[in-house]
Amino acid sequence: MRIIVNGEEREVTSDLLDQVLVECGYENPSIATALNGTFVHRELRTETKLTEGDRIEVVAPIEGG
Amino acid sequence: MPTFYGTEINNPLLLGTAQYPSPSVLAESIKLSKVDVVTVSLRRESGGSNAGQDFWNLIKELGVRVLPNTASCYSVKEAVTTAQMAREVFATNWIKLEVIGNADTLQPDVYGLVEAARELTQDGFQVFPYTTEDLVVADKLLQVGCEVLMPWGAPIGSARGLNNEYGLRSLRAHFNEVPIVVDAGIGLPSHAAHAMELGCDAVLLNTAVAKAGDPAAMAKAFSDAVSAGRQAFLSDPIEMSDMACPSTPVIGKAFLS
């Protein structure tokens, strides 16, 4: 299945958000996610199903003003 | 010291964490200025990267309170979603709410700001709204649940100081029970002291420290300046006058001409 992660197309085998994150190398606990522009709480990642073309945003802490 | 949403902070200077020459200079600036609150943000991270975690660990080690922002958000939806993600990552209900309306001036879209503030306060957030000095907008923000106002001094990063002193005075006078944090546009410690002399409760800045030749020394200078400005405000400054008024007694002066 092809999805878009942080603006880049990715081919993934899983259709669950938590597994896709592992597949894409996200093992850092300090991340937050959004699916198609809507926040997905950490606890809901295991039950969040993805479909072809979904847009995932994965963000982490950074310096800010 | 200012109290935000029931939490008293130890320093009326709030410091941004971006644009420092290195993490160690950032850490030194925070330590030397003894700031209690720093702003942080969220950005996309690549899989396998630990950059975000490393930064977050640095901030946690410094023992400061964080105020996450929604920088660069131009819509209510973006800002609300960013706030929700920030709450999860940083484990705080505090959010510095930015809904930007113009790319050149980075001034807030106050209509979107009020709407986003309403949504977020209803969702349990404690919102620090980055706004203008407009009284009506400030009133709307308070009506939707904000308990802090964060008017700009000048456009972000411009170092222009207080563009509208009258506006800030007016805001202070109208909302004398609400904590006011002047956020953005500060370039010099004298600007920060000026804001505090007007009766503002705190000053938030980033670029003026981070881009200084010696950021840590400048952070200390700003910390001293806000402290001096606050003390001056509490000491009831004299009124300005158009004419001179001799300070040395005139009576008893010798006639020598």
| A11 touching B (Cβ < 8 Å) | no
Residue in B16, B53, B82 closest to A30 by CB: B53
User: In B33-57, which positions are buried (b, 16+ CB within 10 angstroms) versus exposed (e)?
Assistant: bebbbbbbbbeebebeeeebbebbe
Q: Which of B156, B72, B110, B155 is nearest to B81 (CA)?
A: B72
pLDDT of residue B22: 96
Distance CA A15, CA A48 (A): 8
pLDDT at B208: 97
Q: In B, residues 151-180, which contact A (CB 8 Å cutoff)?
A: 156-157
**ipTM value greater than 0.90:** yes
Q: Is the pLDDT confidence value at B123 over 90?
A: yes
B34-75: per-residue pLDDT in tens? 999 999 999 999 988 889 999 999 999 999 999 999 999 999
What is the rounded average pLDDT of the residues B227-250?
Answer: 94
**Inter-chain residue contact B42 with A59, CB threshold 8 Å:** yes
Residue B194: burial class (beta carbons within 10 Å; 0-12, 13-18, 19+) = buried
User: How confident is the model at residue A28, as a pLDDT?
Assistant: 85
Hey, are the CB atoms on B55 and A61 less than 8 Å from each other?
A: yes
The pLDDT value recorded for residue B63 is 96
A49 and B CB contact within 8 Å: no
Classify B18 as helix, strand or coil: coil
Instruction: Kindly report, residue by residue over B98-111, the tens digit of the pLDDT.
Output: 999 999 999 999 99
Q: Are A63 and B41 inside 8 Å of each other by CB? A: yes
pLDDT of B50 reads 87
Contact A7 B43 (CB under 8 A): no
Domains of chain A, CATH where assigned: 2-59 (3.10.20.30)
Q: What is the reported pLDDT for B225?
A: 98
Q: How far apart are CA B227 and CA B200, in angstroms?
A: 12
Residue B78 with chain A: CB contacts under 8 Å: 37
Sign of CA dihedral B57, B63, B64, B67: positive
Q: Which chain B residues are closer than 8 Å to A3 by Cβ? A: none
Instruction: Write down the pLDDT at residue A27.
Output: 87
B92 touches chain A (CB under 8 A): no
Tens digit of pLDDT for each residue in B156-170?
Answer: 999 999 999 999 999
pTM, full prediction: 0.94
Q: Which residue has the higher pLDDT, B257 or B12?
A: B12
| Cβ proximity of B108 and B149 under 8 Å | no
Element (H, E) at B228: helix B215-234
Tally the C-alpha atoms within 13 A of residue B68's C-alpha that lie toward its C-beta: 29
Percent of chain B at pLDDT exceeding 90: 96
Confidence of residue B148 (pLDDT cuts 50, 70, 90): very high
Average pLDDT over residues B236-240: 93
What proportion of chain A, given as a percentage, has pLDDT over 70?
A: 100
Are the beta carbons of B85 and A39 separated by less than 8 Å? yes
- Annotated catalytic residue B96: yes
Between the alpha carbon of residue B2 and those of residues B7, B10, B12, the distances in Å are 8, 8, 6
Q: Output the pLDDT for position B215.
A: 98
Distance (Å) from the C-alpha of residue B166 to the closest C-alpha of chain A?
25
What is the mean pLDDT of the segment spanning B15-26? 97
For the segment A30-56, the average pLDDT, to the nearest whole number, is 97
Chain A / chain B CB contacts < 8 angstroms? 114
DSSP-based three-state secondary structure for B164? coil
The verdict on B27 touching A (C-beta cutoff 8 Å) is: no
Neighbouring C-alpha atoms within 13 Å toward the C-beta of B73 = 27
- Catalytic residue (one of B31, B77, B96, B220): B96
Q: Which residues does chain A have within 8 Å of residue B53's beta carbon, measured at their own beta carbons?
A: 28-30, 60-61
A contact test, residue of B87, B88, B125 with most A CBs within 10 A: B88
A30 — contact with chain B (CB < 8 Å)?
yes
Average pLDDT over residues B79-94: 98
Token representation of residue B188: 């010099």
Q: What is the mean pLDDT of chain B?
A: 96
Residue A22 forms contact with B (CB below 8 Å)? no
Chain A: residue whose CA lies nearest to B48: A25
pLDDT digits (tens, 9 = 90+) for A12-27: 999 999 999 999 999 8
